[in-house]
Amino acid sequence: MALTFVYPADPFKPQTVDAHYRAEADALLARSPSVSVSTWDGQTLRPAPGVGSRLLYRGWMLSAPAYTQLYGHWASLGYMLKTSPEHYGLCHYVHRWYHSLQAWTPETDFIEADKDALEVVQATLSVRLQQGWSAGFLQDAVKRLKTAGGSRVDSAEEVARWFCELKHYQQAVEWPLCLRAWETWQEDTARRYFVYQEQLIPAPAYKAAEMPPLLEPLMDAVIQRIDSPFYALDVVQDLQGQWRLVTLQDGQLADAKGWEASAFVQDLLAVI
């Protein structure tokens, strides 16, 4: 079944795709697939897809409850998002995919929301430093948060500073917090891949070259263990030359870093 691609609207021009996604949407329209524009709340799609249409969303980050609500609303209109809420959560939250890919990504502890979360993170970091960590990296369940001093923490004071800055910037936190082992990675080795229905989509810069042999086991593990229909993954080499998984993202939200818009559309349509 053909897909209808859905993009968020420009807030001032509700029938126009938001500027961040406009080049990608234009490239799709040039190849004649169906494209609809969603109002900011997802209530209206223009033009309205036909009943029974399968949708592929490309837009702004949503919490799992917000995505579930959107999924249900569009289903009530007769549309079906390609990615279910379960699959969305699997790739959107570190704690959902981490245990399946633990060998390939920095060691991570998860701290649930509670009034003593600061003290729990401090105590956990102290234990980890005694066990050999050089430092930790703090983020929420989805992303790195905006803090002036950065996300690297190597003492109780640094953890307190991170929490203080979190409150200062008044950022919404998606729990649990993730305290990840700090790893040193080689410069200029980061890569982003998309995966659609278990088919790997490499960026043009390394599309023509053979996949590095040391990267193949990581990629095989991800594709075998992550059954979401559309997601992106970031990988990088450590100082020993081993490839490490930095993070997964739901493919509907991930920027096409490393692609021109037309090239990304061409590569994506080639596997759909």
- 192-225, pLDDT tens digit by residue? 999 999 999 999 999 888 899 999 999 999 999 9
b/e 141-163 (16+ beta carbons within 10 angstroms → b): bbbebebeeebebeebebbebbb
Average pLDDT of 85-113? Answer: 98
Q: What integer pLDDT is reported at residue 104 of this predicted model?
A: 98
User: Does the pLDDT of residue 248 top 60, yes or no?
Assistant: yes
Q: Mean pLDDT throughout 158-183?
A: 91
Degrees to nearest 5, angle at CA 152 with 150 and 155: 120
Q: Please give the average per-residue pLDDT across 86-103, as a whole number.
A: 98
Mean pLDDT score, 52-81: 96
Does residue 1 surpass a pLDDT of 60? no
Q: How confident is the model at residue 238 (pLDDT cuts 50, 70, 90)?
A: very high
Neighbouring residues of 250: CB distance < 8 A, sequence distance ≥ 6: 83, 87, 88, 91, 92, 228, 230, 231, 232
pLDDT of residue 172: 83
> What integer pLDDT is reported at residue 199 of this predicted model?
97
Q: Report whether pLDDT(147) > 80.
A: no
Q: What is the pLDDT of residue 202?
A: 96
Q: Can you tell me which residue has the tokens 């001032």?
A: 12
The pTM assigned to this predicted structure is 0.94
pLDDT band at 40 (very low <50, low <70, confident <90, very high): confident
CA dihedral 189, 190, 196, 198 (to 10 degrees): 50
Is a pLDDT exceeding 90 seen at residue 107?
A: yes
| pLDDT greater than 90 at residue 234 | yes
Reply yes or no on whether the pLDDT at 58 is more than 70: yes
In tens, the pLDDT along 116-136 reads 999 999 999 999 999 999 999
Q: What is the pLDDT of residue 168?
A: 78
Confidence grade of residue 112 (pLDDT, cut at 50, 70, 90): very high
Is the predicted pLDDT of residue 77 greater than 90, yes or no? yes
Q: Residue 82 — very low, low, confident or very high, per pLDDT cuts 50/70/90?
A: very high
